[in-house]
Amino acid sequence: MSYSKVIIIGAGFGGINCAINLNKADADIYVMDRNNHHTFQPLLYQVATAALSPGNIAVPIREVLKNHKNTTVYLTNVEDIDKEKRQVIASSGERFDYDYLVVATGARHSYFGNPEWEKYAPGLKSLPDALRIRERLLLSFEIAERADSIRAAEKFLRFVIVGGGPTGVELAGAVAEIAHKTLFDNFRRIRPENAQIYLIESQPEILKTFHPKLGKKAHEYLEEMGVKVIPGTRVTNITEEGIFIDENFFPSFSIIWAAGNHASPLMEKLDTPLDRMKRAIVGPDLSIPDYPEVFVIGDSAHTEDEKGNPLPGIASVAVQQGQYIAKIIKKKIPPEKRKPFLYFDKGSMATIGRAKAVCSIHNFDFSGIFAWLSWSFIHVLYLISFRNRILVMLQWLFSYLTSSRNSRLILRSLYGRKDSIFHKVGDHFEDEGGNYHFSFDHDDPTDWSMGDMKFKTGEDSLKAEKNKETTEE
C-alpha cells in the first residue's frame, strides 16, 4: 500500500471539509491551523453583537477530526511554502514535507491601500475580531453614560458600518437591535435608543450581489429599524475622531469595516498568478499552474463558473471545493484525468433583524419571516457540532421572545488595572496603542443630566457635524 502525505493549511470551511472527506484515505493527513478551532464565520456578527458566545459558533479542530485515525492536527502558523522541495514552512522554522498540498487559508479585510484605518475600523473575520468589536460596541454606551456633555456622548453613540454587503447589513441590523431594544431602560443618563447607526455603501444600493428588489427590501427594513443607509458614498478617511464620508465628517468611536477583502498573505508566498484581490488563479482542477499537487481553495482562490464569472467568496464554494479535492487525492487522479470543478449554487441570503431577511434561491427571491426562518434553519443546519445547533436554537428562541442578548460582556476593566483597556496618561485615558484618548472633565459626574437628550438626525446633522456646529448642549 503506498501512502501519500497530504498537508491541509487552514481548517476553515474548505480545509475542514477536505479533511473530513479524506477519512480512511490511503494517506497521512496533516491539518495545520494557527487557531485550535474551526469558526462558523456566517454567525460571527452575532458574537460581535453579543447575541451568541464564541463557543456557540466554534469547535476545536481536534474534536471534529478525533475519529479520523489517519489525521494529525498541528496548531501552527504557516509562513511559507517551498513548491520545489514540496515543503511547508512554519513560523517556528519547522519544515514539513508533502505529496499533496491544499491551501485553504481564507481571506482578510483590505482597506483599499489605507492599512492605518484598521486600528480605528476593525473588520470581522475571526473570533478575536468579533470580541474586539463587541468590546468596542458595549464600551461606547458605557463611556457615553459618563461623558461630559451631549456633544461628547454623541461621538460614542454614533455607530458607523462601512460596506453594504451581507456582513455590513447584518451588523447594522444587529447594532440597531442592541441600541433600540436590548439596552432600552439600561442606562440613566443616555438614551441608547437615540443612538445613530449609519450603513455606508459606495455602490448605488446595498446587497449588490442580490436581486435589486432584495437590496431595496433590505434597505427598507434597515430604515424601519432606525439605521440610516447611505449608498453611493465613499469613505475618504478614518481617524481617532471619526470617519469622513465624501466631504462629511461623522464623529464616531465605533466604526466597523465590512467593505473589502484580500486573500490570505500566504498567496503571495506561492509565487503564482494572483487576481486583484490577491487570490491565486487556479485551473479547472483547482491546482496552480505547473504544480498539479498544489491546490488552493475557498476564499484564497480565484475560480470561475462556466460563464467565466468569478465564484463568490462564500462558505458553500469553499465546502464544495474541499470535497472535490478530497476525491482527487483519495483516488489519486492524475491531472489529465481530473474533471473540472463545478459549483452547485445553493443561493444566497442575509438577515437584517427579527423576522426580517432576504433570500435568493434559484431565481426565487423572497423576504420577510419566511426568508428569516429559512436563514435560521440553514445556518443551524450547517453549524458543525450538534451541541452548538441545540444551544444556538435555544439562544435564538430566548432572544426572539425577550429581545435580550446574553453575551453582553466587557471582559477587561475600563481602566485602573494592568490589563485594563485604557490607562491614565496625564489628565486623560489612552488605549494600548495610543490610538484612542478620552477624559472625564466634570468634577461631579452625577451633577449632570441628559434627560432631554435629543440627537440631530439625517443630512442636517451631517452638515452640522461637518461645520462642527453642534448646538444642543
Ligand X SMILES: Cc1cc2nc3c(=O)[nH]c(=O)nc-3n(C[C@H](O)[C@H](O)[C@H](O)COP(=O)(O)OP(=O)(O)OC[C@H]3O[C@@H](n4cnc5c(N)ncnc54)[C@H](O)[C@@H]3O)c2cc1C
Catalytic residue at 170? Answer: yes
Q: Count other C-beta atoms under 10 Å from residue 287's C-beta.
A: 23
Closest distance to ligand X from the beta carbon of 458 (Å): 28
Q: How far is the CB of 410 from ligand X (least distance, A)?
A: 21
Least distance (Å) between residue 313 CB and ligand X: 5
List phi, psi (to 5°) of 238: -135, 130
From the CB of 253, what's the least distance to ligand X, in Å?
21
- Dist. CA 86–CA 4, nearest whole Å: 13
Nearer to ligand X, 196 or 351 (CB): 351
The three-state secondary structure class of 401 is: helix
What is the smallest separation between the CB atom of 324 and ligand X, expressed in angstroms?
A: 13
Q: Do you know the residue count of the chain?
A: 473
Q: How far is the CB of 341 from ligand X (least distance, A)?
A: 14
Helix (H) or strand (E) holding 327: helix 315-330
Give residues in contact with ligand X (CB under 6 A).
Answer: 9-15, 32-35, 41-42, 44-45, 77-78, 104-106, 124-125, 166-167, 264, 266, 298-300, 313-316, 318
The active-site residue out of 145, 170, 177, 201 is 170
CA separation for the pair 464, 254 (Å, rounded): 20
Query: What DSSP letter does each residue of 185-198 carry, written as one string?
Result: TS-SSS-GGG-EEE
Residue with the shortest CB distance to ligand X: 12
Give whichever of 12 and 173 is closer to ligand X, judged by the CB atom: 12
- Residues 6 or more apart from 306 whose CB is under 8 A from it? 342
Q: Which is nearer to ligand X, 51 or 143 (CB)?
A: 51
Rounded to an integer, what distance in angstroms lies between the CA atom of residue 3 and that of residue 9?
Answer: 19
Q: Which of 42/242 has CB closer to ligand X?
A: 42
Minimum distance from CB of 35 to ligand X (Å)? 4
CA atoms within 13 A on the CB side of 50: 23
What's the min distance (Å) between Cβ of 80 and ligand X? 9
In terms of CB distance, is 106 or 192 closer to ligand X? 106
**Cβ proximity to ligand X, 140 vs 348, nearer residue:** 348
Going from the C-alpha of 317 to that of each of 246, 340, 345, 353, the distances in angstroms are: 35, 14, 8, 26
Contact 148, 440 (CB under 8 A): yes
Closer Cβ to ligand X, 98 or 422, answer by number: 98
Is the CB of 154 or the CB of 299 nearer to ligand X?
299
Cβ partners under 8 Å of residue 102, min gap 6: 6, 7, 8, 9, 14, 15, 18, 295, 296, 297, 322, 325, 329
In this structure, the strands spanning 242-245 and 248-251 are antiparallel
How far is residue 151 from each of residues 156, 157, 199, 431, measured CA to CA in Å? 10, 10, 21, 22
Rounded Cα–Cα distance for residues 105 and 79 (Å): 11
Sheet of 95-97: strand order equals: 78-82, 87-90, 95-97
Residues labelled catalytic:
170
